């Protein structure tokens, strides 16, 4: 088994007090340029995908000293990254709790035109954010995940309603769009009513390929695992300890089997890496640049390695041997050097060990793709 590798599109190396370092580039944060440079390095290193987490609240009590909750909108940032990269898959986060299908579908299809074949989405339900929206957050987790599944269905219906083949642009007979191929969605469900179609066609698929559903990442446990088992290509998980990873991987495989799937979603734990050339240097950086908050380790709610690139490789290899993951999503922390060491030292060593593919997969997130009817 080779591991699927994801990289964050959040400025995690600036978090805590690390933004105060001279090399943090915190002054450029809202230009997006430091993220672009990090993701370009990740693409060159062979990462399969870049993942942009998101939150819908700004904790005023932390922003004086920590940039963790600052940043560009995930879809806007994905558009910037689409122009700067060539191969890596781009996975922005969408809150199903507050989003409506039409604008989500329009944004995602627009991204597909900017980066054909490289767009997926991470569907989450929100625990906060009520003050930002007029729509009420559903009171229980199971209901929020039912809304999420309906959002997925409605978005895919909108994507399918205006196929790429309908855009003919035939100058000879004067046909720009063949309206016979465009159909409304007319979705009417428990949570959404949307007519469609979108004002733009789907991206042109590869020659002879049928339109496909977007690669889907699900983040969360409990009711999220049931949805992931039915629909997702991968699951982003917080699994600090190896046993937690094994348990979550087993749970989503059981959910996939219950849904009649032979190809379960891949479990991708978050992996915070504070790397340096020596363990002593890494530990000192953890103490000064990425201090733990109240009750939280320096790496946050994720599996964390503080040490050298070889320490990171050994930790990944150990979890892979014991079936605790199908891949990982890396969050470099502490300083910019963590980004460089992840890309320049960890990834080549994993490749040497056969833990990641010698060449990145052209369609990394897809374990099950259904064609549109």
* Residues flagged as binding site: 54, 93
SS3 content of the chain, % helix, strand, coil (to 5): 40, 15, 45
- 221 — alpha (psi -120 to 50), left (phi > 0) or beta? beta
Of the candidates 295, 302, 112, 149, the residue with the CA atom closest to the CA atom of residue 232: 149
Residue given tokens 């446990």 in the structure block: 221
Q: Binding site for FMN: residue ranges? A: 54, 93
The b/e string for 87-110 (b: 16+ C-beta within 10 A; e otherwise) is ebbbbbbbbbbbbebbebbbbbbb
**Contact in structure between 218 and 265 (CB atoms under 8 Å):** yes
Q: In sequence order, what are the beta bridge partners of 50?
A: 7, 90
Cα gap 208→363, rounded to integer Å? 16
Tokens at 29, concatenated: 């944060």
Cα gap 178→168, rounded to integer Å? 7
Cα gap 318→323, rounded to integer Å? 9
Cα gap 143→9, rounded to integer Å? 29
Of the candidates 191, 193, 198, 90, the residue with the CA atom closest to the CA atom of residue 148: 191
């Amino acid at each position: 088994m080779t591991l699927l590798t994801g990289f964050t599109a959040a400025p995690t190396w600036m978090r805590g007090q690390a933004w105060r370092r001279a090399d943090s580039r915190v002054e450029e944060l809202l230009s997006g340029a430091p993220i672009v440079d990090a993701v370009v390095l990740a693409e060159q290193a062979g990462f399969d995908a870049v993942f942009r987490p998101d939150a819908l609240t700004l904790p005023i009590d932390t922003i004086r000293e920590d940039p963790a909750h600052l940043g560009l909108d995930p879809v806007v940032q994905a558009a910037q990254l689409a122009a700067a990269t060539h191969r890596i898959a781009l996975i922005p986060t969408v809150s199903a709790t507050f989003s409506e299908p039409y604008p989500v579908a329009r944004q995602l299809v627009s991204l597909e035109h900017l980066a054909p074949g490289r767009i997926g989405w991470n569907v989450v339900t929100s625990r906060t954010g009520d003050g930002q929206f007029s729509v009420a957050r559903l009171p229980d987790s199971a209901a929020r995940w039912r809304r999420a599944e309906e959002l997925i269905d409605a978005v895919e219906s909108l994507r399918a309603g205006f196929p790429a083949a309908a855009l003919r642009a035939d100058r000879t007979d004067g046909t720009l769009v063949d309206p016979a191929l465009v159909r409304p969605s007319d979705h009417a469900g428990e949570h959404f009513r949307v007519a469609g179609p979108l004002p733009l066609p789907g991206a042109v698929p590869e020659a002879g390929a049928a339109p496909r559903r977007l690669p889907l990442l699900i983040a969360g446990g409990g009711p999220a695992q049931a949805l992931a088992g039915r629909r997702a290509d991968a699951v982003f998980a917080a699994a600090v300890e190896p046993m937690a990873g094994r348990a979550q991987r087993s749970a989503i495989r059981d959910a996939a089997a219950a849904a009649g799937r032979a190809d379960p979603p891949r479990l991708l734990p978050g992996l915070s890496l504070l790397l340096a050339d020596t363990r002593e240097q890494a530990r000192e950086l953890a103490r000064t640049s990425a201090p733990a908050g109240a009750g939280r380790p320096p790496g946050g709610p994720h599996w964390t390695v503080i040490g050298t690139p070889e320490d990171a490789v050994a930790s990944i290899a150990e979890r892979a041997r014991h079936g605790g993951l199908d891949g990982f999503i890396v969050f470099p922390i502490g300083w910019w050097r963590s980004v460089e060491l992840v890309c320049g030292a960890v990834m080549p060593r994993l490749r040497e060990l056969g833990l990641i593919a010698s060449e990145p997969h052209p369609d990394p997130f897809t374990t099950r793709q259904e064609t549109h009817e």
